[in-house]
Amino acid sequence: MRTRLAVLAGAIGVALALAGGVHAQGKKGMAGEDAGAAGAASEPADGELAPDMIGAFFPQRADVEAMRRRGFFATGLRPLYPADAKCLEANSFFADSTRGDGSARSTRFYAGYHGGLDIPAPEGTPIVAVADGTVVHKGEGGGIGGIGIVLRHAPEETGFPAWVYTEYKHLREMPDLDLGRQVKMGEVIARVGKTGTVGSRAYGAAGHAHLHLTAWYGASDKYRPGRMLIPLDGYWMDPLALFRGPPAASGEIEKLPEHAKKAPLPYKGADGRVVPEGARVVWPFVCEKR
């Protein structure tokens, strides 16, 4: 029911956008849902977005079929942590319907599926850029989103034949990085926080300090700015695919043999060395020597 309503709301949004009425709608949701939760959930549709982008990218208008078409489904990728280093480990994966503690995710957002990778870490832990890139978005989503930033990575910066975006959420504070700022792989860009989780039904008053890492990709460097960044004609990407390397497409990853779905994570060590040498993408936390 919710899905059908979401599709309907999306269709109305597109119609209004085509009619040029999109900017007059303000921040109130078309579907009458509360604003703020999960970022720009209720932001009006944008004329530049393909219709199925709305069902795939707006958390509260989620349409599972649109999500699937845009790569938002479980790929089966699992991390293989380095034997020679101790890395902070993920506990909730892409498209999981449960949180790290095993509880069911709220179906209010993306139909209950997880849009990224959760890595619990003590508050204040430095987060590093997974690849060279440019700061293209900074936002404070309220609700479950908290404070977040988005980097855009050119194809030559990651080795993927596409423009890749990485989003880092629940940050302790807004990083002091201007839009357009170039960052280097392994550079500290933010600190782990629990913004957006405190007082939520899921995490309670104490909140949950963790990094939520999202990844998307698209054929062009164009994106829709606004409260929530959306790559134009973009696709969801299992964040673990970043570290495994191409392909980026969930449908291609899903078909890989099981052994190919467990790829060792490249990382930056406490001594500053990148392992393996020459890697263009690293785990978002520095790993300590064992």
Residue 167 within binding range of Zn ion, rule CB under 5 A: no
Residue 212 within binding range of Zn ion, rule CB under 5 A: yes
Q: Which is nearer to Zn ion, 119 or 279 (CB)?
A: 119
Q: Which is nearer to Zn ion, 43 or 118 (CB)?
A: 118
Contacting range for Zn ion; rule: CB under 5 A; set: 119-127, 148-156, 211-219, 266-274 = 211-219
**Shortest Å distance, C-beta 276 to Zn ion:** 28
Q: Within 13 Å, how many C-alpha atoms sit on residue 80's CB side?
A: 11
How crowded is residue 18: how many other Cβ atoms within 10 Å of its Cβ? 11
Q: Which is nearer to Zn ion, 116 or 143 (CB)?
A: 116
**Shortest Å distance, C-beta 188 to Zn ion:** 21
Q: Which is nearer to Zn ion, 118 or 157 (CB)?
A: 118
Alpha-carbon span 279 to 266, nearest angstrom: 7
Residues contacting residue 71 through CB under 8 Å, at least 6 positions apart:
235, 236, 237, 249, 250, 251
Are residues 279 and 266 in contact, defined by beta-carbon separation less than 8 angstroms? yes
Residue closest to Zn ion when measured from CB atoms: 212
Binding-site size for Zn ion (CB under 5 A) equals 3
Alpha-carbon span 114 to 181, nearest angstrom: 29
Phi/psi zone of residue 243: left (φ > 0), alpha (ψ -120 to 50 degrees), beta?
Answer: alpha
Which 220-239 residues touch Zn ion, going by CB under 5 A?
Answer: none
Which 89-118 residues touch Zn ion, going by CB under 5 A?
Answer: 116, 118
- The site for Zn ion (CB under 5 A) is made up of 116, 118, 212
